[in-house]
Chain A
Amino acid sequence: MIGSVAKVHWVLLLAVGVLAAAAGTGWAWRNASEGNSTASSDDKVGRLSESFSDRKKRLGESSYSGLERKLRGQRDKFTITIRQPVGPPRVELRAPNSLQRGKPITVACSTCHASRPANFANRTPADLDEFHQDLTFAHGNVTCLSCHNPDNYDTLHLADGSSVEYSDVMTLCAQCHGPQTRDYRHGAHGGMIGYWDLSRGPRTRNNCVDCHDPHAPSFPAMKPTFKPRDRFLNSTIDAKKGHSEVHPHER
């Protein structure tokens, strides 16, 4: 008798299962979304044991479908625009520490420098006695005239003496900062906005001086402005005080 009751239970379970399968109406975004996924899962089986170095190599080399995509005519139709400084900077016409009020008057470099001979003995703003003393300068051992052109202050000059426009300042920076330039050329340095896929839209990239002040180029310190609030955390807990019950990772 006990055995037959157990059987009845199994039959009931089965009945419920069949009911659910037959009467239930599923709405599966996944199945509708996925095309043929068998190929990718076949790939996966062989790759689960692949080491990272092998995988990195494969990711760097197996570019067939990427090439194929390009050959199918999806060539890059759009270009990368590198932002440029508009031209020679304008300088505020006032002495440092002056109490001048109101809208500052700005002038081109050549306004003053055209009539003042260049003094190669001045290496940093600290050496000056009239203008530019308050300029923060922290750029290695270079001097003002390493970059500024003493023959024409509205331009810069390269190491070989040839002049270069302010808008082409990257050429100047690239003389010393080789690794950064290499990384920049390969898209591994510097911020950008727009499209990763140039067949669909353009991209705009920062130039050196968008992020680096040429007179003090190290990237400035920042203050974090946004922090997720963990719901398990009392927001009043100070990071230094800590909290014994808080997992270190959430601290």
Chain B
Amino acid sequence: MSDSQRANGSDPSSASNAEPLLPILGQSGSTRRTMMKGAGLTLGLAAFGKAISPLTAIPENVSVAEFLQQHYKELSSDDKKTILARLEAEAKENYGAEVSISDHRPIPGVKFGYAINLSKCNGNGKCVEACHTENNHDRTTQESYIRVLEMDKGSMDLETANTTYTHTVPQDDKFYMPVQCQQCDNPPCVTVCPVEATWKEEDGIVVVDYNWCIGCRYCEAACPYHARRFNWEAPTVPTDDINPNQSYLSNRIRPQGVVEKCHYCLHRTREGRLPACLEACPTGARVFGDLNDPESEIVWILKNKRVFVLKEDLGTQPSFFYFFDS
């Protein structure tokens, strides 16, 4: 037994004179706690004063919007050029490839639509491969924006679909349904993004700003078509395999920790070219075009074929259609 313990335990009269062991509620007086509160209040007020100090510097006749805009900067075309040059330099540094990154804007008056002929698709997966190489996907995971679902004929149960079949196609009792981003007119993935890093553009393409995305993956969870992909690691692409024709919102090499998705090959389609998956399809099952052009192939299909959209009941209003020959 130590001396202090012996003193406390053996002499009760000395304990009553000392400070109470536990604080007594309602007892007034200057304590350490009130001092800390005072200090906290002072600090808080000082921080608040510092925080609002820029407001005192607002010149006269300047609105709040104008004031904040100086700080929430809208990119000028010069800013964009600087950023694109920086990204090109990064690609050179990290992947050793000379790439050209542009910023393809929507063609005015165009609204893209895509249709797949399920009577023709035989599940060979050439589209998956074309997407993989066109869009500088990670070679390790053999990532692609397209999944081809092998399903039982007469069934539309996506839960039982098989995506990793390796047998000869087509099997007699199966049909094949490629699924990629449906470019919804009412996209749930856009609604849930907490930082507005993904949005729908005028030509209907839902895009992702890979440098604005925080990687929370809400959009991945919100998408009913399982169309978004997450870069768990920085993509590995051999220098020689890199597609140098790139765009900011499409196939430039994505950083680690961001979400990506099919963008209808906007670096091609906004130049008027067909998407890579369409050109690769050996069965001719894919049809792409302008929904606003009355003479386009896609509009003819909508008017004349049996067409459906995937999970229509969810109200996502896809710009992606499936049709049959007869």
> Which A residues form the contact surface with B (CB < 8 A)?
1, 4-5, 8-9, 11-12, 14-16, 18-19, 21-35, 37, 40, 44, 47-50, 52, 55-56, 59-70, 179, 183, 186-197, 199-201, 203, 206, 211, 219, 221-231, 233, 239, 248-251
Task: Check A65/B292 contact, CB under 8 A, given A15-B47, A186-B300.
Answer: yes
Cβ–Cβ contact A69 & B109, under 8 A? yes
Q: How far is the CB of A79 from chain B (nearest CB, A)?
A: 14
Cβ–Cβ contact B142 & A227, under 8 A? yes
| Complex A-B, nearest 7 residue pairs according to Cβ-Cβ distance, in ascending order | A200-B272, A187-B297, A197-B272, A66-B292, A32-B75, A66-B293, A63-B294
Give me 16 A-to-B residue pairs in the complex whose CB atoms sit less than 8 angstroms apart, sorted by A's number.
A15-B50, A21-B71, A29-B80, A29-B211, A30-B196, A60-B299, A66-B290, A179-B326, A187-B297, A188-B301, A197-B272, A200-B273, A223-B168, A228-B141, A233-B164, A239-B162
Cβ–Cβ contact A200 & B129, under 8 A? no
Cβ–Cβ contact B281 & A191, under 8 A? yes
> Please, how many angstroms separate the alpha-carbon atoms of A250 and B162 in the complex?
7
11 other contacts beyond A224-B169, A228-B128, A239-B165, with CB at 8 A cut-off?
A32-B80, A52-B312, A61-B294, A186-B301, A196-B273, A219-B122, A223-B167, A228-B144, A229-B141, A239-B162, A249-B163
Q: How far is the CB of B74 from chain A (nearest CB, A)?
A: 5
Task: Check A201/B141 contact, CB under 8 A, given A227-B125, A230-B164, A249-B159.
Answer: no
Minimum CB distance partner of B230 in chain A: A231
> Please, how many angstroms separate the alpha-carbon atoms of A61 and B27 in the complex?
80
Of A11, A18, A47, the residue contacting B317 (CB under 8 A) is: A47
Of A49, A66, A203, A251, the residue contacting B109 (CB under 8 A) is: A66
> Please, how many angstroms separate the alpha-carbon atoms of A23 and B165 in the complex?
54
Task: Check A196/B125 contact, CB under 8 A, given A19-B51, A249-B159.
Answer: no
> Please, how many angstroms separate the alpha-carbon atoms of A171 and B83 in the complex?
54
Contacts of B281 on A, CB cut-off 8 Å?
A: 191
0/1 interface trace, chain B 240-268, chain A, CB 8 Å (1 if under): 00000000110000000000000000000
Q: How far is the CB of B237 from chain A (nearest CB, A)?
A: 15
Task: Check A188/B142 contact, CB under 8 A, given A66-B294, A201-B273.
Answer: no
> Please, how many angstroms separate the alpha-carbon atoms of A157 and B166 in the complex?
42
Cβ–Cβ contact A59 & B299, under 8 A? yes
Cβ–Cβ contact B317 & A50, under 8 A? yes
Contacts of A61 on B, CB cut-off 8 Å?
A: 294
Please tell me if B90 contacts chain A, counting CB pairs below 8 Å. Answer: no
Task: Check A231/B48 contact, CB under 8 A, given A29-B209, A249-B163.
Answer: no
Cβ–Cβ contact B279 & A48, under 8 A? no
Cβ–Cβ contact B186 & A8, under 8 A? no
> Please, how many angstroms separate the alpha-carbon atoms of A189 and B119 in the complex?
11
Contacts of B52 on A, CB cut-off 8 Å?
A: 15, 18
> Please, how many angstroms separate the alpha-carbon atoms of A197 and B111 in the complex?
12
Task: Check A15/B37 contact, CB under 8 A, given A32-B75, A199-B272.
Answer: no
Q: How far is the CB of B267 from chain A (nearest CB, A)?
A: 14
Of A4, A40, A67, the residue contacting B202 (CB under 8 A) is: A40
Please tell me if B10 contacts chain A, counting CB pairs below 8 Å. Answer: no
Please tell me if B214 contacts chain A, counting CB pairs below 8 Å. Answer: no
Minimum CB distance partner of A63 in chain B: B294
> Please, how many angstroms separate the alpha-carbon atoms of A143 and B287 in the complex?
34
Task: Check A224/B290 contact, CB under 8 A, given A28-B72, A239-B164, A239-B166.
Answer: no
Minimum CB distance partner of B157 in chain A: A248
Of A22, A63, A187, A203, the residue contacting B292 (CB under 8 A) is: A63
Of B164, B199, B287, the residue contacting A30 (CB under 8 A) is: B199
Contacts of A29 on B, CB cut-off 8 Å?
A: 75, 80, 83, 209, 211-212, 248-249
Of A9, A67, A201, the residue contacting B272 (CB under 8 A) is: A201
Contacts of A65 on B, CB cut-off 8 Å?
A: 108-111, 292
Contacts of A227 on B, CB cut-off 8 Å?
A: 125, 128, 142, 163-164, 166
> Please, how many angstroms separate the alpha-carbon atoms of A239 and B161 in the complex?
12
Please tell me if B123 contacts chain A, counting CB pairs below 8 Å. Answer: yes
Please tell me if B105 contacts chain A, counting CB pairs below 8 Å. Answer: yes
Minimum CB distance partner of B286 in chain A: A191
Q: How far is the CB of A189 from chain B (nearest CB, A)?
A: 6
Please tell me if B234 contacts chain A, counting CB pairs below 8 Å. Answer: no
> Please, how many angstroms separate the alpha-carbon atoms of A29 and B75 in the complex?
7
Contacts of B68 on A, CB cut-off 8 Å?
A: 21-22
Cβ–Cβ contact B304 & A186, under 8 A? yes
Which interface residue of A18, A29, A59 has the most chain B CB atoms within 10 A? A29
Q: How far is the CB of B13 from chain A (nearest CB, A)?
A: 34
Cβ–Cβ contact A26 & B302, under 8 A? no
Minimum CB distance partner of B285 in chain A: A191
